[in-house]
């Protein structure tokens, strides 16, 4: 242990690199805000303990291969270190200082060759903390703090954070997104701080972060297990994700095999494969900057696809990976393996080759028992290759729209699955792209069956979200191992619905949908005053009806993202007959019905309409004729769009002359018949359809509607 050291001390004659077993930059806006507040509020004459900085000196056999850094190490006596713990804070300091240096260049009175921050020259600041150029040609730029060269964050740090020119293609990942956000955060905050307080306060901030924030620097000795130290130390601060812990563990395990089982070049190759896999995984997880994917979600899903699923506790997957499968005990524990003498022969020295070949020919291909680690290097290789292969398909299942990797039909059906709520089927969908034996047509067939299962089982019949999940998690692994076909899985889906969701009456061969579960659920929603409006499948159902009209007529008018986005005091699904029917026009159209029946007319399916543009909820109470046509204020500004120029569903409703109980029943029956056709279900008769609409009171025994009887 050493005494507390400031950043100025720490960076003196040292070069820092983030080793391959480390995660990338993980701080988000919450940590950045805390850091900024700490720096701003720290009195200039006070020191502040920042935490532990654990370093491991890099061996010469490693840094000898560092081209850009070697001159500082050999000529100027710098010492190279891997950062084991403290990477997040060190990265944040460096980005902060870079943002200050860029701010100084934007101040009009500053000229490039003579920029100063108080008594600190910009050139000295950059050389002390950021980058040193090798004289006399100044071709080599050596970064005081960086990543290993093969890490995508290294290129990003150089070209996007430090602004080195001529970057070429830069691979962006889950972690580079955090680097970019951190730089934007400090750039904006420093600019605002400068405009408010002036350059003197920027100098104060610089002094505070380089001289007042103190680290406890700890150098890990050679005999200390650096990988175990990394796992233990990173339980502090922003906790390591399980995917990050697993990468460190796998790299650590490659160091434990003895030379007989894993030669030096094989060890290096396996370590490279682990790094390549994680590089690809983090690239895919961070591809969509607006919606980066959760790394632990991916790890859980891959575990489901790759290993035998169990349902003990939520964290049993990581306990299996880190405590049962990928452990040092499984390398030290030996198991007997039968190998042929031919395999043994391939491992002998070159000069003994001829004699051994004669023995082989004479004795034949004999078998012998040797001891090998319980966890073989090949198992690690297969696992990381599988992670790498699955990552792009995992990304595609989350981002199907306008995705060139998918056919238009695949994109359409995966988008539907995301909209309806894919629940536990994403691993199965991902696996469908990993098998060479499954073509696009088979995938579409599978996606259709999954979407139908979700709609009927969960949206209509109200099964718990975990219903049969372990069966289909296991099916994902069996599918990956070619133990199940697409048809096998579709049959499983249907069998799980046949048990309780379909029935065949006596003396009939027809199969009908058992809507009793949906009916009970809706009864509760009507009692709560919402009816179908409270159904969590409503937006998906109405959108699918609308998209069916788009396929028939063209011109899409409803954007799903805007349709499902909640806006205060605005609605995207309208009660045509409003919930507050105060206008006389509504009282006339629904004369003669009880209050309980009025409530059903308001909340039944046929009365609910998806709007192409959300409107203020107060406009819902307009009369039907006013809703059909655009409405303007005194300044002749349109304050609501009419049904006649809205969505296809609105245009369809606008063809009704008036809106009354018969119109609601007719449209409701049309929507139920669309449901039958779209999801391949069948209601037994017209009575069943009116019953599920809760409008059976409108139909007399002779089949006439109540309004027809009243009019007589």
DSSP states of 652-704 as a string? HHHTSSS--HHHHHHHHHHHHHHHHHHHT---SSHHHHHHHTT-GGGB-TTS-
Q: Is residue 487 part of a domain?
A: no
The answer to whether residue 9 scores a pLDDT higher than 50 is: yes
Q: Is 166 left (phi over 0), alpha (psi -120 to 50) or beta?
A: left
Q: Is residue 483 part of a domain?
A: no
Q: Is residue 608 part of a domain?
A: yes
Burial status of residue 409 (CB atoms within 10 A of its CB: 0-12, 13-18, 19 or more): middle
The answer to whether residue 342 scores a pLDDT higher than 50 is: no
Max mean pLDDT among 283-287, 361-365, 700-704 falls in 283-287
Task: Classify 172 as helix, strand or coil.
Answer: coil
User: Among 316, 343, 373, where does a domain finish?
Assistant: 373
The answer to whether residue 456 scores a pLDDT higher than 50 is: yes
CB 665 within 8 A of CB 693: yes
Residue 339 banded pLDDT, cuts 50, 70, 90: low
Least confident of 483-492, 567-576, 627-636: 627-636
Residue 628 banded pLDDT, cuts 50, 70, 90: confident
Q: Are residues 523 and 667 in the same domain?
A: yes
Q: Is residue 64 part of a domain?
A: yes
User: Among 185, 216, 233, where does a domain finish?
Assistant: 233
* Distance of alpha carbon 707 from alpha carbon 661, whole angstroms: 8
Q: Are residues 204 and 278 in the same domain?
A: no
Least confident of 158-172, 391-405, 495-509: 158-172
* pLDDT score at 464: 92
* pLDDT score at 480: 94
Residue 620 banded pLDDT, cuts 50, 70, 90: confident
* pLDDT score at 265: 92
Q: Are residues 202 and 348 in the same domain?
A: no
Q: What is the mean pLDDT of the chain?
A: 87
Closest by CA position to 620, among listed 604, 647, 643: 643
* pLDDT score at 591: 92
* pLDDT score at 353: 43
Residue 3 banded pLDDT, cuts 50, 70, 90: confident
Domain, as residue range, for 90: 4-233
* pLDDT score at 346: 46
Q: Are residues 401 and 314 in the same domain?
A: yes
Average pLDDT over residues 78-86: 91
Q: Is residue 554 part of a domain?
A: yes
* Distance of alpha carbon 16 from alpha carbon 81, whole angstroms: 5
Q: Are residues 340 and 389 in the same domain?
A: no
The answer to whether residue 158 scores a pLDDT higher than 80 is: yes
Q: Are residues 400 and 263 in the same domain?
A: yes
Distances from the Cα of 91 to the Cα of 18, 126, 334, 417, angstroms: 10, 15, 42, 40
- Six-digit token pair at 206? 């610089």
Distances from the Cα of 16 to the Cα of 141, 146, 218, 682, angstroms: 15, 6, 14, 68
Average pLDDT over residues 583-604: 94
Least confident of 232-241, 288-297, 665-674: 232-241
Quote the Cα angle for 373-378-381, to 5°.
130
Q: Are residues 451 and 340 in the same domain?
A: no
Closest by CA position to 529, among listed 579, 581, 577: 579
CB 101 within 8 A of CB 125: yes
Q: Is residue 430 reached through a cis peptide bond, with omega within 30 degrees of 0 on the bond before it?
A: no
Residue 702 banded pLDDT, cuts 50, 70, 90: very low
Count the neighbouring beta carbons within 10 Å of the beta carbon of residue 108. Answer: 5
* Distance of alpha carbon 674 from alpha carbon 437, whole angstroms: 34
Cα distance between the two ends of the chain: 98
The beta strands (E) that lie in 301-455 are given as 334-340, 367-373
Average pLDDT over residues 133-155: 87
The answer to whether residue 103 scores a pLDDT higher than 60 is: yes
More confident residue, 367 or 582: 582
The answer to whether residue 310 scores a pLDDT higher than 80 is: no
Quote the Cα angle for 97-98-103, to 5°.
95
Helices and strands per DSSP (H, E), number in the chain = 33, 18
Max mean pLDDT among 48-62, 234-248, 671-685 falls in 671-685
Average pLDDT over residues 143-158: 87
Residue 711 banded pLDDT, cuts 50, 70, 90: very low
* pLDDT score at 1: 45
C-alpha gyration radius of the chain: 34
Q: Are residues 400 and 358 in the same domain?
A: no
Count the neighbouring beta carbons within 10 Å of the beta carbon of residue 401. Answer: 11
Q: Are residues 124 and 269 in the same domain?
A: no
Q: Is residue 603 part of a domain?
A: yes
Q: Is residue 689 part of a domain?
A: yes
Q: What percent of the chain has pLDDT over 70?
A: 90
CB 466 within 8 A of CB 458: no
Residues in CB range of 31: below 8 A, 6 or more apart: 88, 92, 238
The answer to whether residue 637 scores a pLDDT higher than 60 is: yes
The single-letter DSSP state of residue 705 is: B
Q: Are residues 405 and 421 in the same domain?
A: yes
| Structural domain count, the chain | 4
The answer to whether residue 236 scores a pLDDT higher than 90 is: no
Q: The dihedral of CA 244, 249, 252, 254: what is its sign? A: negative
User: Among 210, 233, 256, where does a domain finish?
Assistant: 233
* pLDDT score at 327: 93
- Six-digit token pair at 663? 């119109």
Residue 361 banded pLDDT, cuts 50, 70, 90: very low
Q: Are residues 259 and 154 in the same domain?
A: no
The answer to whether residue 384 scores a pLDDT higher than 90 is: yes
Q: What percent of the chain has pLDDT over 90?
A: 61
3-state helix, strand and coil shares in percent for the chain, rounded to the nearest 5: 55, 10, 30
The answer to whether residue 568 scores a pLDDT higher than 90 is: no
On whether the pTM is more than 0.85, the answer is: no
Average pLDDT over residues 666-684: 97
Q: Are residues 51 and 87 in the same domain?
A: yes
Q: Is residue 507 part of a domain?
A: no
Least confident of 11-15, 141-145, 175-179, 350-354: 350-354
Task: Classify 80 as helix, strand or coil.
Answer: strand
The answer to whether residue 351 scores a pLDDT higher than 60 is: no
DSSP string across 253-305: HHTTS-TTTS-HHHHHHHHHHHHHHHHHHHHHHHSSTTSPPPHHHHHHHHHHH
């Amino acid at each position: 242990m050493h005494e507390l050291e400031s950043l100025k001390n720490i960076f003196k004659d040292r070069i820092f690199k983030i080793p391959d077993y480390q995660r990338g930059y993980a701080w988000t806006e919450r940590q950045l805000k805390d850091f900024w507040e700490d720096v701003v509020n720290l009195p200039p004459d006070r020191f502040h303990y920042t935490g532990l900085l654990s370093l491991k000196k890099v061996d010469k056999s490693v840094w000898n291969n560092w081209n850009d850094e070697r001159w500082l190490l050999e000529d100027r006596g710098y010492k190279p270190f891997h950062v084991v713990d403290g990477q997040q804070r060190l990265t944040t300091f460096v980005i902060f200082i870079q943002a200050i240096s860029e701010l100084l260049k934007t101040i009009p009175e500053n000229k490039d060759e003579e920029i100063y921050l108080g008594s600190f020259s910009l050139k000295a600041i950059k050389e002390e903390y950021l980058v040193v150029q090798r004289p006399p040609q100044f071709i080599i730029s050596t970064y005081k703090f960086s990543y290993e060269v093969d890490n995508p964050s290294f290129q990003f740090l150089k070209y996007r954070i430090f602004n080195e020119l001529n970057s070429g293609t830069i691979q962006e990942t889950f972690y580079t997104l955090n680097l970019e956000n951190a730089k934007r955060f400090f750039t904006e905050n420093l600019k605002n701080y400068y405009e408010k307080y002036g350059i003197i306060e920027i100098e104060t901030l610089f002094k505070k972060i380089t001289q007042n924030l103190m680290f406890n620097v700890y150098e890990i000795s050679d005999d200390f297990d650096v990988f175990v130290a990394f796992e233990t130390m990173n339980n502090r601060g922003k906790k390591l994700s399980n995917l990050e812990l697993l990468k460190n563990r796998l790299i650590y395990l490659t160091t434990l095999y003895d030379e007989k089982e894993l030669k030096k070049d094989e060890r290096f190759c396996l370590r490279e494969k682990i790094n390549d896999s994680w590089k690809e995984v983090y690239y895919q997880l961070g591809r969509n900057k607006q919606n980066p994917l959760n790394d632990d979600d991916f790890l859980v899903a891959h575990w489901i696809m790759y290993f035998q699923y169990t349902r003990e506790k939520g964290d049993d997957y990581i306990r299996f990976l880190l405590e049962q499968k990928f452990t040092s005990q499984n390398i030290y524990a030996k198991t007997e393996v039968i190998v042929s003498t031919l395999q043994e022969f391939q491992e002998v020295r070159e000069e003994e080759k001829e004699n051994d070949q004669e023995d082989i020919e004479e004795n034949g291909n004999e078998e012998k028992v040797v001891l090998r680690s319980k966890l073989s290097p090949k198992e690690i290789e297969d696992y990381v290759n599988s992670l790498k292969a699955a990552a792009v398909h995992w990304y595609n299942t989350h981002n199907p729209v306008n995705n060139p990797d998918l056919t238009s039909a695949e994109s359409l059906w995966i988008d539907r699955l995301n909209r309806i709520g894919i629940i536990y089927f994403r691993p199965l969908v991902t696996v469908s792209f990993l098998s060479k034996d499954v073509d696009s047509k088979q995938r579409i067939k599978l996606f259709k069956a999954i979407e139908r299962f979700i709609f009927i089982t969960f949206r209509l019949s109200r099964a718990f979200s975990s219903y049969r999940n372990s069966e289909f998690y296991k099916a994902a692994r069996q599918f990956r191992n070619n133990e199940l076909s697409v048809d096998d899985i579709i049959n499983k889906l249907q069998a799980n619905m046949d048990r309780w969701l379909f029935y065949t009456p006596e003396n009939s061969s027809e199969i009908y949908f058992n809507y009793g579960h949906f009916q009970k659920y809706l009864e509760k929603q009507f009692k709560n005053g919402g009816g179908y409006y409270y159904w969590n499948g409503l937006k998906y159902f109405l959108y699918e009806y609308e998209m069916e009209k788009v396929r028939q007529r063209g011109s899409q008018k409803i954007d799903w993202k805007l349709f499902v986005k909640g806006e205060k005091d605005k609605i995207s699904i309208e009660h045509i007959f409003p919930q507050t029917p105060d206008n006389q026009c509504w009282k006339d159209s629904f004369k003669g019905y009880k209050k309980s029946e009025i409530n059903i007319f308001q909340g039944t399916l046929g009365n609910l309409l998806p709007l192409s543009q959300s409107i203020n909820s107060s406009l819902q109470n307009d009369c039907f004729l006013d809703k059909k046509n655009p409405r303007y204020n005194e300044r002749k500004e349109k304050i609501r769009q009419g049904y006649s120029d809205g969505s296809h569903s609105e245009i369809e409703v606008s063809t009704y002359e008036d809106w009354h109980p018969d119109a609601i029943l007719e449209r409701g029956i049309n929507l139920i018949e669309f449901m039958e056709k779209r999801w391949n279900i069948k209601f037994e008769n017209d009575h069943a359809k009116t019953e599920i609409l809760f409008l059976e009171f409108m139909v007399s025994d002779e089949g006439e509607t109540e309004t027809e009887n009243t009019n007589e």
